[in-house]
Amino acid sequence: MSIQRVGFVGTGLMGLPMARNLLRAGFQVAAYNRTPLRAHPLLEEGATIAGSPREAAEGADAVITIVSDTPDVREVILGDKGVMHGAARGTVVIDMSTISPRVTKEIAGDLAARGIEMLDAPVSGGEKGAIEGTLSIMVGGSPGAVERCRPLFEAMGKRLVYCGTHGQGQMVKLCNQIAIASNLVACAEAVAFAKKAGLDPNTMIEAVGAGAAGSWVINVLGPKMASHDFAPGFMVKLQQKDLHLVAQAASEIGASVPGAMLANQLFTAVEASGGGDLGTQSLVSVYEKLAGL
């Protein structure tokens, strides 16, 4: 059965443009956000506004959730006014938040008991990717449900990678967060070092970004570090939430993640200076202080 009607729970920094891209692709969207005004921009593009996650799920073929943290996902899906109570048998619930892989499996089990399928499909690409519909999507769950939902994913992203069973999409997203955290540390250190050495950091970024050390962080966030443009594409406090998830999962599977934990400690210094709502590129400010800049 093809998917036409979509419930969408969470229209924040990422969710709003993702829902907008679904509308532009021709899907019918019923949107819910805890702060209703944040969902209202979708009205003029043809969405309806739901009064609860349960209401967003009523009559939907699929329901997408993208909210801040594990307890939030549990509440909007399993809570008294949650998606589970409005979704019919055969509905697919797609959680695109970044949360605990273990809890994802638990939620999937609760939904399966009601005949509702679940996919965990966290994303990478930030606000820019959400706006442009170029997100990278890591999905776990049944292959059949993935194929059924492929048109939804293609409206929001440019790359869909099937990672395995329930929770494996989330586990791959944590790998992504480990890698990007270390990239942020390396880039911030290089920018601060360049400034201390009397170099133009943008010249350094141009040279380094074209070589073997080039990366998305160097080429996109490096110039923002150099100019102190700390407007958030992804907030420090959300990066920290993800690094806490990394630490939790690492403890559960017996893995060591010293690079991610170094990033966590450095971001703690950003938060201690009141920078939790800044973009992750604000990490450079810690290195500049250490360098006496």
Enter the DSSP assignment of 218.
Answer: I
Distance CA 201, CA 286 (A): 16
Tokens 């110039």, residue located: 223
Residue pair 229/281 in contact by the 8 Å Cβ criterion? yes
- Alpha carbon of residue 79 to chain centroid: 22
Tokens 């809570």, residue located: 79
Could you give the C-alpha distances from 84 to 169, 220, 274, in angstroms and in order?
Answer: 21, 39, 38
Question: Among the residues of 117-167, which ranges form H helices?
Answer: 126-132, 143-156
* Contacts of residue 56, Cβ cutoff 8 Å, sequence gap at least 6: 7, 8, 9, 30, 31, 32, 50, 63, 83, 86
With H, G, I as helix, E, B as strand and everything else as coil, classify residue 169.
helix
Catalytic: 224? no
CA dihedral 18, 151, 153, 230 (to 10 degrees): -30
**Amino acid at the residue 118:** M
Q: Which of 173, 196, 224, 289 is catalytic?
A: 173
With H, G, I as helix, E, B as strand and everything else as coil, classify residue 121.
coil
Question: Among the residues of 81-219, which ranges form H helices?
Answer: 101-112, 126-132, 143-156, 168-196, 201-209, 216
Q: What is the CA radius of gyration of the chain?
A: 20
Distance CA 221, CA 124 (A): 15
Which residues participate in catalysis according to the annotation? 173
